[in-house]
Chains A and B, each alone.
Chain A
Amino acid sequence: MYAAIWRLMPGPVWVRILLVLVLLAAVLYSLATWVFPWVDTMVNNQEVTVGAP
């Protein structure tokens, strides 16, 4: 899968490495900005109170 992505990318190796870094940064940014906050609301059942909330 990742090998296929690597093959699909254009240019010499250094361009591809640069591209990988850019793609990784984009993925991490969107995870932290949109995906993780959304997941947090789905899984975050951290009850910290005593008694019925």
Chain B
Amino acid sequence: MFGPIRIDSMTEPAKTEVPALRGRRAQRGPKARVRPRVSVFGVLGELLITGGVLVLLFLGWQLWWNDAVMAASQSRAAESISQGWVDEVKPDPAPAAETGYGDPVVATAPADQSAFAVLYVPRFGDTYKRTIAEGTGTNVLNSPDLGIGHYPGTQMPGEVGNFAIASHRSANGGGMHLIHELQLGDAIYVQTADGYYTYRFRDLEYVPPSAVEAIAPVPHDPDGTAVDRLIALTTCNPLFSTAERIIAYGVYESWQPTSAGPPAELAALLPAA
């Protein structure tokens, strides 16, 4: 039981009496000369520790390192697609601003995985922007240049009904990481090739993952007739878990075409054109 310790101390004096030993090993005593036997438990223990370290490293990579890498690349991609739309249109600060631009233009949903909008939520950070593409598969949500998916079959930006989108809460760029911090009235901007749609955050809702009625044109009333223009941001809840879903609803406020430039509050956050 206490073997190694006693043997060490007992054989210690022998050290000086073995002249055949050479170099560094000789100074460590005769025990060091004997190759430590590779024990099954020793190797197993080291392998288990290695495995544990690998798991921790993976989590760190997934939740922080790769999350940050993806967030940066998704943000860059959103910026470039947004700039592309702006560049296509001549700025025309029409005086219509006083009266508004009427009913919003409603585009038709594009093919799966096609980017068609950019989301801005100042509450998520001044530089926060993400591309919205059609479909909610991993090909959209886990993509380094997309990140937010539009539920096929739900309404489009500005349309009467529910423009429902999904994104990761954590990892893969975490497009909706700060969804729980939204405050009543917070701006949610959606930019498309046509223009800018402004929504105002209304409320949060916590639902089971099966609650498909949350993204119905009238949330939780699948048979209802829609009159409001809503946006629904959906992601998983609680943080780092997929047990529930958290839904953030916003209500449409206004629309302006690309030629009119972004809404003032958003323009202040965008790089000067």
Contacts and interface: CB of A to CB of B under 8 A. Distances in A.
B20 interface: no
Contacts of B58: 31, 36, 39
Interface string B42-63: 1100110000001001100110
A14 B243 CA distance: 50
Contacts of B247: 50
Contacts of A36: 57-58, 61-62, 66
Contacts of B210: 50-51
* Chain A residues touching B, range: 20 to 34
Contacts of B172: 44, 46
A52 B234 contact: no
Contacts, number: 73
26 contacts: A1-B42, A31-B54, A31-B58, A32-B65, A32-B66, A36-B57, A36-B58, A36-B61, A39-B58, A40-B66, A44-B142, A46-B236, A47-B236, A48-B136, A48-B166, A48-B245, A49-B151, A49-B209, A49-B234, A50-B211, A50-B214, A50-B234, A50-B247, A51-B210, A51-B215, A53-B136
A26 interface: no
A48 B211 contact: no
Given A1-B42, A3-B36, A4-B38, A50 B245 contact: yes
Contacts of B137: 53
A5 B149 CA distance: 48
B138 A31 contact: no
A3 B42 CA distance: 10
Contacts of B200: none
> When A and B form their complex, which 4 residue pairs have the shortest distance between CB atoms, in order from nearest?
A51-B212, A1-B46, A48-B236, A49-B166
Nearest to B36: A3
Interface in B16-56: 36, 38, 42-43, 46-47, 54
A53 B209 CA distance: 10
Grouping DSSP codes into helix (H, G, I), strand (E, B) and loop, the B interface class, with mixed when no group exceeds half, is: mixed
Contacts of B256: none
Interface string A10-51: 000000000000000000100110001101100010111111
Interface centre among A4, A37, A46 (most CB of B within 10 A): A46
Given A1-B38, A1-B42, A32-B65, A48 B169 contact: yes
A7 B62 CA distance: 34
Given A1-B38, A1-B42, A32-B65, A49 B136 contact: yes
B83 interface: no
Nearest to B46: A1
A47 B209 contact: yes
Contacts of A3: 36
Nearest to B241: A46
A52 B57 CA distance: 32
Contacts of B61: 31-32, 36
Nearest to B61: A36
A46 B38 contact: no
